[in-house]
Structures are given as structure tokens and as C-alpha cells.
Chain A
Amino acid sequence: MKVLVPVKRVIDYNVKARVKSDQSGVDLANVKMSMNPFCEIAVEEAVRLKEKGLVEEIIAVSIGPIQAQETIRTALAMGADRGILVQTDADPEPLEVAKLLKSVAEAEGPGLILMGKQAIDGDNNAVGQMLSALLGWPQATFASKLELDGQTARVTREVDGGLQTLELDLPAVVTADLRLNEPRYASLPNIMKAKKKTIDIKTVDDFGGVAPGHLKVLKVAEPAKRVAGVKVESAAELVTKLKTEAGVL
């Protein structure tokens, strides 16, 4: 079985996003970029499935600028077999990303699409669900455990209040939550090996093109800052202030 793992190049999760002074967006110039952490978890899970002998081939696909090759290269160094870059300098909306990925999936015929639950830039948490709907495949989002058994996948999901376990007929879309696994660091030999693996560079037109966006960003602003309050000397003083000054007790 083939597994398709979409990966996104985003601002590194340790870097604090800064809003541009003209409020047109977040400043990404000279900012460290990395693979979206949830995508990394998805790649790791695919590699573990391959190590268990449940998967033959892992294809990492990214939609983005030419630099997104580095992100695919990271996935290859972790253990993915080959990559596809759908090159575009536009920043397609989740709906367009889902449509492009649908075309990629139709061309590749994977038994499973394993991807992050959301990208930490747009925080939309939408592409996996939309891709699943467009393909007419079942979905399991926010996965914390994944077991493959022949033609089905058993997925434990993190839901409000606890966990839910579902069984899906394959092919299916599964999106990774934080506790699915802890991604490995690529070893130096694997990084070297990854340089020899293939990345096919395609255009969006190879996969049906991109329609104009449905959402127009009018502005991007910084949230109101919270100001530090006061330090209290004792628990007793804290309770007094909460009662009389803040009125929350």
C-alpha cells in the first residue's frame, strides 16, 4: 500500500510571528522556516507503518514555493521514499489545497493519506476534512493512535472530554494530533541518502490549477496586549485582592 503524506513549509514553531507594520500580513522575511510540526508527526507515523511492513511506499507532497523542496527533503530524510512538489508562489486557500491534493491522490492511488491536523500558520484545521469529503473517503481527525489491519484502519482520536475510537474502511484520510508519536531526528546518513531520492517538480496546472480565492484578507493585526499586574506578598493578600479588587471570588 502507498501512503501519501502532505507536508507544509511554515514559520518555525519556536519563532514568534510578528505582524507587518502595514497590517498586510505576518512578516516572513528572513524568518526560519520548517516543516509544520503536525506534518512531521504524520511523516513519522507513515515511516513507522513502513517499518512494521504495513506500507510499501511513502510519498511526501508539498504545495508551495520552490523552497518547499527543503521540507520534502526533510520528510525524505525521515524515511519517505519520494517527493512531489506542486510549485506555486501563490498561497492557496485550504479549499484549493484540498482540490490539488485530491488530484495528486487520484494520480497516485494511495490506500491512506496521513497528514497533520492543522498548519500552525493559518490554523484553519480544514484541509484533511475537505480532502476526505472531496474524495468521498472516510476520515479520522486528531489521531492519537493508528492501527492498520488489512482493509481497515482503527484510529483513536482526541476529542473534547476524552478519546473516541473509530474503524475506517480504507482508503481513508487520517489527521495527526500531537500525541500520535514523537518524530525522530533524521540521522546524517539518512540526510545524505535523502539527497539521492527523487522530488518531482510539478505545477498547479498539472493538477487542475488553482481558482481565485474565496476569502480576502482585509488586515492582519496584533492582538491586544495584556499588561502585567502586581505581585502580591502572600496567599492571604491574594485572596483579599481577588475578593475586593477583582471581585472574582
Chain B
Amino acid sequence: MAVLVVADHDNVSLKDNTHKTVTAALALSGDVDVLVAGQNVAGVAAEAAKITGVRKVLTAESDALGKQIAEALASCVTPLMAGYDAVLAPATSVGKNFAPRVAALLDVAPISEILEVVDANTFVRPIYAGNALETVQSSDAKKVITVRSTAFKAAEEGGSAPIEAVDAGPGAPHTRFVSDEIVKSDRPELAGAKIVVSGGRAMGSAEEFHRVIEPLADKLGAAVGASRAAVDAGYAPNDYQVGQTGKVVAPQLYVAVGISGAIQHLAGMKDSKVIVAINKDGDAPIFQVADYGLVADYKTAVPELMEALTAAGL
């Protein structure tokens, strides 16, 4: 069987989610091709060609694909499925948006956010916000799958797959791109960061969030996250949200500052390797999942932590 992976990229660079999705695809088949659908994607395709284990890189280019419009992606991917037994996309906002459309057009059941490939037909995926794990077996001849990339290791680089262009499809005749507001940041991306520092409602204001959380994150070379309570209160932008309804992260180190640990937040970070919690309430549920807990007011604890990090040579 052959498997198609739809690359995660921004037309400029390839995202690490692609490497992780390739790992999931290689668990299904040795014949893995990567589709880079976008606009002016020669550079991205060249990066994808380096992923070890990739047989071939396909490129498809149009305006609508450049904006990652779901209808355009689905009408590009669906005809390609004549040559593949499965298509895998990372469960990003793009993957989640177009993959079910492909499934509907192929008349198959999509399999969302897999955590594990048991065999070529059987997958483990989270339900009820990760409070239960479902093992499902698909009877469809062709499978449409989104992959929770934090559950898979990134495939290495070292290959040199050939690159060929394919038909971009009819685009999205009834959908027009108006604008993007993408937050520019020099910090690592939240979803793939090795260290994440998150702030909660205890910050009390957007100014306090910036003053406390961001310097600590920069000291650690970390991405910045936030609880839903902090986002809803307007202390942090919505794309910072870690949790069931936001981003799912699994960094090496997760530092939760002033976060109580609601179930919905825990669902987004409990697979982190090491969790640190700083909270003045010693009974906060976050301490039940934290490897290291510091019961203290963040107002004194974070400056002390900054000093201790400096003293330790960081």
C-alpha cells in the first residue's frame, strides 16, 4: 500500500509536524509520498525531499492552495487518492479543516487525531477531551487520517526524494481569502516547542502577563502559552491557549504559572515530559500532575526563579 502525507508549511518553510506525520505514515507503509500544496513552494518541497523514508514529493500550486483553503486542498487531494490507500495530515487547523472533506468525497469515515498506529487498519485516538482513548478499526479501503503530532517522533532528514508537480485542482470557486492576522514572534512555535511557559488567570491583566510570563519564557528559550481562563479574560491572545479547545502540547518541560489546572487545561499538556507548577494555592489540581510543585505567589517566585536560572548559568 502507498500513503500520502500532506505537508504542514507556510509556503516558506516546512513545519516539524510534517516529519512527525511521516513517522506515523511509515508505520502504515514503506511507500510514503509527501504532497506540498501551496504557492511558490519549491523551497518547501526541497526540504520535504530530505525527510528520510520519503519516496517522492508532489507539489501542487495555486492561489487558493497558497491560502490553504479547505475546498481547494480537498479538491486537489481527492483525485490523487486513486493512487493511495491512505492520506495522513497533521491535526493542525489546516489538517482538521480539509481532511474530513476528503473523507466525505471518498465516502469513507475520517479518523481524527490518532495517537498510535496499531496496525494498517487500527488506530488509537482520544475522545472526551483525552479522558478516554478509543481503539478503532476501519473497514474502509482508503483511509483519511489526521495525526496528533505530539504523539510521534519526528522523522530524520538525510534523504533526497524526487520532486514532481501534480494538478492543483479547481481551487475554491465560492470561497475568497480576505485577510490573515498572524502573530509574528521570535519565540519558538507553541505546538513544537521544547519548553513552554504558560500563565493563568492569576496574572490579573495583560500587562502583568507580558511582564511576568514573557521574560521567563525568553530566559528559557520557551514558547508562551496560556490557560483558557487567561485567554477569555483577554490577558493573552487566543492562539496561546493550551487545552482541550486550544493547542495540545507535549514539550520536554512545561512550566505552569498561576494556573489552577482545570480538566480542560490538563487535556492540553498532560503528556509533557516534565511539568512544573507554581501556584500559591497548595491544593490546586495542577499539583496532582506536576513533577515539581512550588507553592508560592508567582509575584515572588518568578523573580526568584529568574535569579536562580541566572545563577545556574542560564
Contacts and interface: CB of A to CB of B under 8 A. Distances in A.
Interface of A: 11, 16-17, 19, 26, 93-95, 98, 120-134, 137-142, 144, 154, 157-169, 172, 177-179, 213-223, 226, 228-232, 234-236, 238-243, 246, 248-249
Which residue, of B103, B137, B282, B295, has the highest number of chain A Cβ atoms within 10 A?
Answer: B103
Contact of A129 (B70, B129, B135, B228): B70
A133 B100 contact: yes
Given A93-B109, A160-B191, A235 B308 contact: yes
28 contacts: A94-B109, A127-B100, A133-B105, A134-B104, A138-B175, A144-B238, A160-B93, A165-B179, A169-B174, A179-B238, A214-B108, A216-B139, A220-B134, A223-B126, A223-B132, A228-B288, A228-B293, A229-B275, A229-B290, A229-B291, A234-B304, A234-B308, A235-B307, A236-B311, A238-B276, A238-B294, A240-B312, A242-B274
Nearest to B10: A161
Given A133-B74, A160-B239, A11 B128 contact: yes
A234 B276 CA distance: 12
Interface residues of B, number: 92
B104 A129 contact: yes
A130 B132 contact: no
B109 A228 contact: no
B81 to A, nearest CB: 14
Given A121-B128, A123-B112, A139 B183 contact: no
A138 B174 contact: yes
A159 B94 contact: yes
B180 to A, nearest CB: 5
The 9 closest A-B pairs by CB, nearest first: A229-B291, A214-B109, A235-B304, A17-B128, A129-B100, A130-B104, A126-B100, A133-B104, A133-B101
A139 B98 CA distance: 10
A92 to B, nearest CB: 11
A166 B245 CA distance: 22
Contacts of B179: 164-165
Tell me what chain A mostly uses at the interface: helix, strand, loop, or mixed.
Answer: mixed
Contacts of A121: 127-128
B293 A230 contact: yes
Nearest to B251: A248
Nearest to A140: B175
A162 B239 contact: yes
A162 B110 contact: no
A228 to B, nearest CB: 5
Interface in B134-161: 134-140
Which residue, of A124, A133, A221, A231, has the highest number of chain B Cβ atoms within 10 A?
Answer: A133
A65 B286 CA distance: 37
A215 B109 contact: yes
Contact of A231 (B74, B126, B239, B287): B287
Contacts of A215: 109, 111, 136-139
Contacts of A157: 93
B82 interface: no
A159 B127 contact: no
Contacts of A133: 74, 100-102, 104-105
